[in-house]
A and B are shown apart, each in its own frame.
Chain A
């Protein structure tokens, strides 16, 4: 009756269970049940091995005592001592010819291998298609059935084959479920969704999360480019279409950032990264990820606003320090104006009027008024609150303007100002007011550091020069109190100050301004007394300022064209 039992029939028994999603032990128990029913006088069990193949992970059997099954779980498979171990080692069935003389670990009472009334008859390895041990199919003879001594050996390979298929299927299902769960969790964690786009047919497959992100009804299938386009922010639509066209022309990878305008008028920022591949038919297909970067964008914008406010606070602080200097700068020409005008009036009042003298004093009056308005113009530029702008600048000119504005304040503090500005300095790209703010901060810091110095000249050396790698450098060297080497890291902390007055945010804001110019600001102690503060920024056009301005690079597309690589390759052939 068992002789006719084929693999197809055995497979059908367990196949239904697998399709129903039954757990593996249930499937394997059903397999054992079929074997036990087929081979009278014999019982079977399936021992599942862990991934190392060294330990029994779980066991299943239908007519074996549950207590016996239970004690097998977690046991080590001894490679040499036991038939189970031997069968794995040899990767072929081990038939126990004399069960009495080779009982399973009979010599170790503490570890009974079999249940009472059972003799291990044969143990066969269950191997994967690649030959990896998955488990052991063990057949026991029931001693209560002494007549039956011949096991239907031909049946065993069929069962191990089906068991192998079942275990592999279950394992791959599990791996798939795990990876799907992992992917879902990863997508949740990184606010990322994925999609694929078949360029030829415009077939788009979207994850459930992507539908949620776009606030599309998942039943709105198929998702089309038109459907997506309807959600794109109108200002980004043109660049989105451009990206689609370029992707169609066969670039290998692309990155894109754009906004969504949702039905409730809210705006989301998305970042798309896609990788192009050719499928088996040679058709172009993109697989990509979409990340919701709205939160990050808002944070960046808030940060840029905060930075602008902080810079403004620093300006106001400097303004306080500079009030005296401003008063001085404006009062000087005003004094000239008043004096000249008074003289003029007197010259015209005498008889005969001194017309020539009056003309001369009027000329001076006008000149002094122009000088006063120059000062006001410079101050207005320095202290108005506005976002960063980027223009081509001559660092020497920028420096000279700050020197002109602050020299009287510095001289009032008995500071001797010397400038060494390099000739032929290449232009830099940046924000004039922000850079002047930094330079002014450095001047005021240097002046403060020298305020208590009386035993040596208070010298301030301002130098500009070309730095390596197409950069320009400005350094401000003083002969002040300097700083402790261990304090250098803290110099640039916001609110760190060695001064008793002032907010101490000058240097940290200065550094953030210089960094937004893709530059670097640092301090070094002098060999003699004092310290030197320097910054270096790249010359020529650059992509800086994003952080400072909060400017968005939306609609920016970065693509690496396959065609270019092919061209290069083609030329070299």
Chain B
């Protein structure tokens, strides 16, 4: 029997992240999809299916926190793991809003990601 793997969505404008992270997620036992922008994710048909969102903070156009707000407005409560290359941006997320599981500073280790995912699935 096959258990359907939970879907983790990656939203990041950096191509190497979009390329590498889904592979690692699959190795960790999840199914994964990558999106290059918040708008692309919102336009996709997998919002309802997504069990966890790995979300870049700084992106041209709609930012990570913008997407989080939009999802809240839409009533979609998806646990979010923020990722960022900017140390000072973690400060902006100090008062972690509801649904935020963790904020990982790039580059992050696979164990840090694994722990954050475990937390996310405990929450959900």
Residues on A lying within 8 angstroms of B by beta carbon are 324, 327-329, 331-340, 342-343, 346-347, 357, 361, 364, 367-368, 371, 408, 411-412, 414, 416
30 contacts between A and B (CB under 8 A): A327-B85, A327-B86, A328-B58, A329-B85, A331-B86, A332-B16, A332-B85, A334-B107, A335-B16, A335-B83, A335-B85, A336-B14, A336-B16, A336-B19, A338-B108, A338-B109, A338-B110, A339-B17, A339-B21, A340-B20, A340-B24, A342-B110, A343-B23, A346-B24, A347-B27, A357-B23, A364-B20, A367-B16, A411-B60, A416-B60
Complexed CA–CA distance, A535 and B50 (Å): 51
Chain B 12-44: CB-based contact to A (< 8 A → 1; otherwise 0): 001011011101100110000000000000000
CB distance from A356 to the nearest CB of B (A): 12
CB distance from A101 to the nearest CB of B (A): 113
Complexed CA–CA distance, A371 and B88 (Å): 23
B85–A331 touching, CB < 8 Å: yes
Candidates A328, A339, A357, A414; contact of B85 at CB < 8 Å: A328
A332 in contact with B17 given A337-B107, A342-B109, A411-B60 (CB within 8 Å):
yes
A335–B108 touching, CB < 8 Å: yes
Chain B 44-64: CB-based contact to A (< 8 A → 1; otherwise 0): 000000000000001010000
CB distance from A549 to the nearest CB of B (A): 38
A412 in contact with B58 given A327-B85, A332-B85 (CB within 8 Å):
yes
B88–A339 touching, CB < 8 Å: no
Kindly list 19 other residue pairs between chains A and B, CB separation below 8 angstroms, not including A340-B24, A343-B23: A324-B88, A328-B58, A328-B86, A332-B16, A332-B17, A336-B17, A336-B19, A336-B20, A338-B108, A339-B21, A340-B20, A343-B24, A343-B27, A346-B24, A357-B23, A361-B23, A364-B16, A368-B20, A411-B60
Residues of B within 8 A of A324 (CB): 86, 88
Complexed CA–CA distance, A335 and B87 (Å): 14
Residues of A within 8 A of B16 (CB): 332-333, 335-336, 364, 367-368, 371
Residues of B within 8 A of A332 (CB): 14, 16-17, 85, 106
Residues of B within 8 A of A414 (CB): 60
Question: Across chains A and B, which 7 residue pairs bring their CB atoms closest together, nearest first?
Answer: A336-B16, A331-B85, A342-B110, A335-B106, A334-B107, A339-B20, A338-B107
Nearest B residue to A329 by beta-carbon distance?
A: B85
Residues of A within 8 A of B105 (CB): 331
- Which residues of chain B (104-121) have a CB below 8 Å from chain A? 105-110
Complexed CA–CA distance, A337 and B17 (Å): 9
Complexed CA–CA distance, A371 and B21 (Å): 17
A339–B110 touching, CB < 8 Å: yes
CB distance from B89 to the nearest CB of A (A): 9
Complexed CA–CA distance, A317 and B87 (Å): 19
CB distance from B116 to the nearest CB of A (A): 13
Residues of A within 8 A of B106 (CB): 331-332, 334-335
Could you tell me the dominant secondary structure of chain A's interface residues? helix
Nearest A residue to B104 by beta-carbon distance?
A: A335
Residues of A within 8 A of B27 (CB): 343, 346-347
CB distance from A313 to the nearest CB of B (A): 24
CB distance from A220 to the nearest CB of B (A): 73
A327–B23 touching, CB < 8 Å: no
Residues of B within 8 A of A364 (CB): 16, 19-20
Nearest A residue to B58 by beta-carbon distance?
A: A412
Residues of B within 8 A of A342 (CB): 24, 109-110
A331–B107 touching, CB < 8 Å: yes
Complexed CA–CA distance, A414 and B14 (Å): 16
Complexed CA–CA distance, A101 and B106 (Å): 122
Residues of B within 8 A of A335 (CB): 14, 16-17, 20, 83, 85, 106-108
Residues of B within 8 A of A346 (CB): 24, 27-28, 110
Residues of A within 8 A of B107 (CB): 331, 334-339
Complexed CA–CA distance, A573 and B14 (Å): 76
A339–B86 touching, CB < 8 Å: no
Complexed CA–CA distance, A67 and B36 (Å): 112
Residues of B within 8 A of A331 (CB): 85-86, 105-107
Complexed CA–CA distance, A343 and B83 (Å): 18
Nearest A residue to B110 by beta-carbon distance?
A: A342
CB distance from B9 to the nearest CB of A (A): 16
A361 in contact with B58 given A327-B85, A335-B108 (CB within 8 Å):
no
Complexed CA–CA distance, A337 and B107 (Å): 8
Nearest A residue to B88 by beta-carbon distance?
A: A324
CB distance from B33 to the nearest CB of A (A): 16
CB distance from A328 to the nearest CB of B (A): 4
Residues of B within 8 A of A327 (CB): 85-87
Chain B 75-87: CB-based contact to A (< 8 A → 1; otherwise 0): 0000000010111
Residues of B within 8 A of A339 (CB): 17, 20-21, 23-24, 107, 110
Complexed CA–CA distance, A364 and B15 (Å): 11
Nearest A residue to B59 by beta-carbon distance?
A: A411
Complexed CA–CA distance, A416 and B60 (Å): 8
Complexed CA–CA distance, A346 and B25 (Å): 11
Complexed CA–CA distance, A185 and B69 (Å): 82
Complexed CA–CA distance, A347 and B23 (Å): 10
Complexed CA–CA distance, A371 and B15 (Å): 12
Residues of B within 8 A of A367 (CB): 16
Nearest B residue to A371 by beta-carbon distance?
A: B16
Candidates B20, B60, B86; contact of A361 at CB < 8 Å: B20
Residues of A within 8 A of B19 (CB): 336, 364
B85–A343 touching, CB < 8 Å: no
Complexed CA–CA distance, A408 and B110 (Å): 26
Complexed CA–CA distance, A484 and B83 (Å): 42
Residues of B within 8 A of A328 (CB): 58, 85-86
Nearest A residue to B15 by beta-carbon distance?
A: A336
CB distance from B21 to the nearest CB of A (A): 6
Residues of A within 8 A of B110 (CB): 338-339, 342-343, 346
Nearest B residue to A325 by beta-carbon distance?
A: B86
Complexed CA–CA distance, A342 and B109 (Å): 8
Most B CB within 10 A of own CB, among A335, A337, A346: A335
Nearest B residue to A339 by beta-carbon distance?
A: B20
Nearest B residue to A342 by beta-carbon distance?
A: B110
CB distance from B59 to the nearest CB of A (A): 8
Residues of A within 8 A of B60 (CB): 411, 414, 416
